[in-house]
Amino acid sequence: MTSLPYHGLRLLAVHAHPDDESSKGAATNAKYASLGARVLIATMTGGEAGDILNPALLQSPKASRDIAGLRREEMAAAAAALGADHVWVGHVDSGLPDGDFDNQTPPGCFYRVPDEVAMLPVVHIIRTFRPQVVTTYDELGGYPHPDHIKTHAVTMAALKAAADADSHPELGEPWQVQKVYYNQDLSAKKWITIHEKMTEAGLESPFADHLEDFKKRDNARRNWLSTRIACSEFFPARDRALLSHATQIDPEGGFFSASRKAARTYWPTEEFELAVDLTEREPLTPDVDFQEHDLFASVTFDDGRRVPAEGMLPDSPTGEDTPAEDTAHTESETPA
């Protein structure tokens, strides 16, 4: 019996809150899990500061009494929908203050914990799970939330420490991650392209009121969509995962429904930015989008085998090199 092609490969996805894993890279993770890779989601905080965003649960005694406990149940259901394993890192949700994060986040929250302390459980996770690939957020967090920005800093510090035999040997044997990616599901290019395509088709775009925000994000940081994963067949799985977070998602919400429909029609892929590449292949050309179609391209298995430089996934749902914004397939989720 032939094993699945990605058996022996491991991907660690580091996120800030429960529900982030279902709106950023979720279909990619589900695809790799289905192909034999082990996928582990590490959630930095418990989402304790999250509001109840689904009107149907506003009167729920459980949601109002124990939102942290309910979000743990939601997270378990979401991980199961994606075929992934899950671990809580154990930090406390910082909330989203209106002003200065340094002064307005509460004492003891994730954002306030020094990086060298906050990274310790992540170092242990990396050394125990031994991923070849890690995904997380860029230095701006993907969008300006203190826990997302902190997740970037802590993850990058943990990656460095995990590879250093002299750093915290009590946390396990050192492990060198071969590739690190930033999630770019929230890239301005993606949502502006979808808006433009809908407008050209004479359709009302749900993103018209968000264009200035997208453009501000693009001006703050020009994202490199180095890697595009064709994963539209797993959009239903990521929708199920996202809807598992019932406290956070209103399934009848206009923006959720409209953005999901628009994305499945005009952008049937998920994008990542290559941040660290320690494989032996030729480097990618900086700032050229869509060069890579497999996060595990050129990665070395534990037994010394190597994934081909071109990867083992097709570069589009049809196997043809068609720009993501010009193809149409099924299911997606909210961009925020």
pLDDT at residue 315 in the model: 61
Give a yes or no: residue 167 inside a domain: yes
Work out the end-to-end distance of the chain between its first and last CA atoms, rounded to an integer number of angstroms.
42
Q: Do residues 192 and 211 make contact, with C-beta atoms less than 8 angstroms apart?
A: yes
> Which of 186, 129, 177 minimizes the C-alpha distance to 276?
177
**Pairing assessment for the beta strands 179-183 and 269-277 based on DSSP bridges:** antiparallel
Tell whether 124 is in a known binding site: no
Give a yes or no: residue 1 inside a domain: no
The pTM of the full predicted model, rounded to 2 decimals, is 0.90
What gap in Å lies between CA 97 and CA 105, rounded to an integer?
6
Give a yes or no: residue 332 inside a domain: no
The count of structural domains within the chain is 1
pLDDT at residue 261 in the model: 75
CA 288 distance to own-chain centroid: 21
For 315, the domain range is: 10-326
Digitized pLDDT (tens) for each residue of the chain, 336 residues in all: 458 999 999 999 999 999 999 999 999 999 999 999 999 999 999 998 877 766 767 667 777 677 788 899 999 999 999 999 999 999 999 999 888 899 899 999 999 999 999 999 999 999 999 999 999 999 999 888 999 999 999 999 999 999 999 999 999 999 999 999 999 998 999 989 999 999 999 988 888 888 888 888 888 888 999 999 999 999 999 999 999 998 887 777 655 667 777 888 899 999 999 999 999 999 999 999 999 999 999 999 999 999 999 999 876 543 333 333 333 333 333 333
Tell whether 293 is in a known binding site: no
HSE of 176 in the Cβ direction (CA atoms, 13 Å)? 11
Give a yes or no: residue 3 inside a domain: no
pLDDT at residue 328 in the model: 31
Tell whether 17 is in a known binding site: yes
Give a yes or no: residue 333 inside a domain: no
What gap in Å lies between CA 46 and CA 92, rounded to an integer?
6
What gap in Å lies between CA 173 and CA 72, rounded to an integer?
30
State the CATH number of the domain containing residue 233.
Answer: 3.40.50.10320
Give a yes or no: residue 223 inside a domain: yes
Secondary structure (3-state) at 276: strand
pLDDT at residue 254 in the model: 56
Give a yes or no: residue 334 inside a domain: no
pLDDT at residue 58 in the model: 67
Structure tokens at 274: 């290559």
Structure tokens at 320: 């043809």
pLDDT at residue 318 in the model: 38
Give a yes or no: residue 244 inside a domain: yes
What gap in Å lies between CA 33 and CA 78, rounded to an integer?
14
